[in-house]
Amino acid sequence: MFIQKQLVRLLSANTTQRVCLRYDHTMRLRSQVKFLALAAGAILVVLGCAYFYAITPHQSSAPSESAVGLLEHADELSWGNNWAEAQPLYAKAEHLFEVENQPSKALYAQVSQIPPNESVSVPNTILQLTDDLETPGAQDKETRLRILTIRGMLQTNYDAAQARATWQQVGALAIKLHHYELASRAEETIAKIAALAG
């Protein structure tokens, strides 16, 4: 009987010890899971902030009346689809870039003046923009992207097949240049063209 009591006591102590060890292990595991969840959350916040920073345009410290400052302000206006207000700023920037002997920036500003001008011949303007892509000024990737964008805008209402090809080029180049909002806009335009084509 004594041995039985001792054995029961030993087994119960051993069981209690196992339960305590399991409880301790469970608590440590929960603590580790909480830590990993917090770390994963912090990483997601950092990645989200980095993504937001990457897709938003950044202004330089250029004076507002300089060629670069005028161009940046005009680009902000045109991005908001306020081309009419942006047009005179693009004209001033084009002149200043010509004076500064920056032909690619002058070309960028020049082609950016096209959208509000409804009196232009669309086929001739598309042809001119296509020719502009072959000029030395269009070797600058930002200028090339702008020419393609303007050409795509004109083609969208004129020739859906040409527009689709142009917007695909815009999307690809925009991604290379980290202009993700423009790349997204290009994809949306391609989808609209496809929907209209049926």
- What would the mean pLDDT of 14-32 be, rounded to a whole number? 67
Average pLDDT over residues 78-104: 95
Sign of CA dihedral 87, 89, 95, 100: negative
- The predicted pLDDT at position 117 comes to 78
Long-range contacts from 131-136, C-beta under 8 angstroms, 24+ separation: 132/107, 135/107, 136/103, 136/104
Q: What is the mean pLDDT of residues 35-49?
A: 69
Residue 55 reports pLDDT greater than 80: no
Give residue 10's pLDDT band: very low, low, confident or very high (50, 70, 90): low
As a whole number, mean pLDDT of residues 130-137 equals 95
- Residue 98 pLDDT exceeds 70: yes
pLDDT of amino acid 44: 72
Tens of pLDDT, residues 135-172: 999 999 999 999 999 999 999 888 888 999 999 999 99
Select the more confidently predicted residue: 118 or 52: 118
Q: 40: how many CB neighbours lie within 10 A of its CB?
A: 10
Q: What is the pTM of this model?
A: 0.70
CB 64 within 8 A of CB 73: yes
* Predicted pLDDT of residue 6: 61
Name the residue with higher pLDDT: 139 or 48: 139
Q: What's the sign of the alpha-carbon dihedral 20, 22, 25, 30? A: negative
Residues 102-117 have pLDDT tens digits of 999 999 999 999 987 7
Higher pLDDT, residue 61 or 158: 158
| pLDDT value at residue 157 | 83
Q: Where are the domains of the chain?
A: 1-56, 58-116, 120-198
Contact 78/108 with Cβ under 8 angstroms? no
Q: Report the C-alpha gap between 166 and 38 in whole angstroms.
A: 45
